[in-house]
């Protein structure tokens, strides 16, 4: 890797970290969502500082052209991040539907849905709770909603 | 408090040409039952016509989907403590005379879910594509549950309190098309399903929600949903052993 390319990658990584922190400070992204992006930019910086890591990894995987490994890893990371975004969108859509339904009932009939009526049974919640404890990608909000 | 034990849920989306006749038909054969129209973000006068006829209407702020509208009805029924619900489509394709049969089955406690089946005797009326899809879903239901359900896509259904309470919870009911997947889930959960014959009436006016490319999407989505339901039930059983 040439010196110029290393400097460019280093600068891109640093800029990316700064951008994520700017978004965090201006409350346009929350801490949990920022972690994968900070990690990605840290990897960029690390590879620019120690390019031999990529060469060692590539040769151990019998890849002749080390940048190909970089593309492979970055594609995989992007896929993971997209999947994570889809999970978030699905969760938000579910919450949005639930709010719209309850608000429509209140607005049209004046009936207030009792607290906890919309939530699945305790057993199901326990499953979600234990799973959330292990899985950092799932939202913390669902923990707050648990009525026990 | 409620005077009626049961509630008829009518999910409606842009059905201003049908809703009047549908409500009139239901009123004739559903004495002693309450009616609720879930106006699922209609852009026409559906909600206005229904409320003008003196029926209770819940207006969604935007179009959530057929399943979402039904779920709103379940939530309302649960809050008002109804013992059972009968869901009836607003397109005028259901025969309101079947309501009394469904009602009798639910009140007797002999079953948890009653389906008004259009194809209990003959499936030829369904048309080529729809008939093939229904046959396919029948096979899947038979394969996964061992039960014979002749009309898994029927919108005319009755559910007792235990079932609609279960489906009213967040994330427990699909917001678009609750059909074969929901039935497989219910049967696997141990709910008793019964089919009663229901004549299919030609749609009064308007377009079906399963038209054109949506049909393909519907079938693909349903296959995925069925697989997910089966896997989810297996996963739930495994987790229950360890909790």
State the Cα–Cα distance between residues A66 and A10, nearest whole angstrom.
Answer: 18
- Residue B241: pLDDT band with limits 50, 70, 90: low
- Residue A121: pLDDT band with limits 50, 70, 90: low
- Domain residue spans in chain B? 6-242
State the Cα–Cα distance between residues A84 and A81, nearest whole angstrom.
Answer: 5
B64–A113 CB contact, under 8 Å: no
pLDDT tens for residues A80-92? 889 989 998 998 9
How far does CA A133 lie from the centroid of its chain?
A: 16
A98–B170 CB contact, under 8 Å: yes
- Residue B41: pLDDT band with limits 50, 70, 90: very high
Give the chain B residue whose CA is nearest to the CA of A120. B169
Q: What is the pLDDT of residue B209?
A: 62
Identify the DSSP state of A140. Answer: S
A vs B, Cβ pairs < 8 A, gives 66
CB contact, 8 Å: B221 with chain A? Answer: no
- The partner residue sitting opposite B78, judged by closest CB among A98, A109, A117, is A117
Mean pLDDT for the stretch of residues A136-148: 39
The minimum CA-CA distance between B133 and chain A, rounded to whole Å, is: 27
Contact A135, B106 (CB under 8 A): no
**Residue B49: both structure tokens together:** 């016509």
- The partner residue sitting opposite A126, judged by closest CB among B79, B175, B243, is B243
- Burial annotation A75-107 (CB, 10 A radius, 16+ → b, else e): eeeeeeeeeeeeeeeeeeeebebbebbbebbee
- Residue A108: pLDDT band with limits 50, 70, 90: confident
pLDDT tens for residues B227-237? 989 988 888 76
* Topology of the domain comprising B6-242: Spore Coat Polysaccharide Biosynthesis Protein SpsA; Chain A (3.90.550)
Contact B76, B45 (CB under 8 A): no
CB contact, 8 Å: B57 with chain A? Answer: yes
**A124-128 long-range Cβ contacts below 8 angstroms, 24+ apart:** A124/B169, A126/B243, A127/B236, A127/B239, A127/B243
Q: Give A82's Cβ-side CA count (13 Å radius).
A: 6
Among B75, B163, B166, B238, the residue to mutate for chain A (most A Cβ within 10 A): B75
Instruction: With beta carbons under 8 A apart, name residues in chain B contacting A100.
Output: 60-62, 64
- H or E, element range at B159: strand B157-160
- Residue A145: pLDDT band with limits 50, 70, 90: very low
CA distances from B106 to A13, A113, B195, B196 (A): 65, 25, 12, 12
Residue B28 pLDDT more than 60? yes
pLDDT tens for residues B106-115? 999 999 999 9
Q: What is the pLDDT of residue A124?
A: 45
pLDDT tens for residues B202-216? 766 666 666 667 778
- The partner residue sitting opposite A119, judged by closest CB among B60, B68, B170, is B170
A108–B175 CB contact, under 8 Å: no
């Amino acid at each position: 890797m040439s010196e110029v390319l290393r400097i460019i990658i280093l600068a891109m990584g640093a800029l990316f970290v700064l951008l994520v922190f700017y978004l965090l400070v201006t409350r346009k992204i929350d801490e949990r969502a920022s972690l994968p992006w900070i990690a990605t930019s840290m990897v960029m910086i690390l590879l620019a500082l120690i390019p031999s890591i990529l060469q060692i990894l590539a040769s151990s995987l019998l890849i002749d052209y080390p940048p190909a490994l970089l593309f492979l890893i970055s594609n995989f990371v992007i896929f993971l991040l997209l999947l994570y975004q889809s999970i978030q969108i699905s969760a938000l859509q579910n919450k949005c539907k639930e709010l719209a339904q309850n608000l429509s009932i209140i607005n049209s009939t004046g009936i207030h849905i009792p607290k906890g009526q919309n939530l699945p049974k305790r057993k199901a919640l326990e499953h979600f709770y234990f799973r959330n404890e292990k899985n950092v990608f799932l939202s913390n909000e669902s923990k707050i909603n648990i009525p026990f | 408090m409620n005077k009626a034990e049961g509630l008829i849920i009518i999910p409606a989306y842009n059905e201003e040409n049908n809703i009047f006749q549908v409500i009139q038909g239901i009123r004739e054969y559903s004495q002693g039952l309450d009616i609720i129209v879930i106006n699922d973000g209609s852009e026409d006068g559906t909600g206005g016509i229904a409320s003008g006829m003196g029926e209770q209407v819940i207006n969604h702020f935007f179009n959530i989907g057929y399943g979402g509208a039904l779920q709103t009805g379940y939530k309302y029924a649960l809050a008002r403590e109804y013992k059972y619900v009968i869901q009836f489509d607003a397109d005028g394709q259901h025969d309101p005379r079947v309501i009394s049969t469904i009602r009798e089955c639910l009140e007797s406690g002999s079953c948890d879910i009653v389906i008004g089946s259009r194809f209990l005797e003959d499936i030829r009326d369904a048309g080529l594509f729809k008939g093939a899809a229904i046959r396919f879903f029948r096979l899947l239901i038979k394969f996964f549950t061992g039960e014979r359900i002749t009309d898994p896509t029927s919108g005319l259904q009755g559910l007792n309190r235990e079932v609609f309470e279960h489906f009213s919870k967040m994330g427990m009911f699909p917001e678009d098309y609750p059909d074969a997947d929901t039935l497989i889930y219910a049967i696997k959960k141990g709910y008793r399903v019964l089919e009663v014959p229901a004549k299919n009436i030609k749609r009064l006016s308007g377009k079906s929600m399963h038209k054109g490319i949506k049909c393909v999407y519907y079938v693909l989505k349903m296959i995925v949903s069925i697989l997910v339901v089966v896997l989810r039930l297996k996963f739930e059983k495994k987790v229950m052993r360890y909790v």
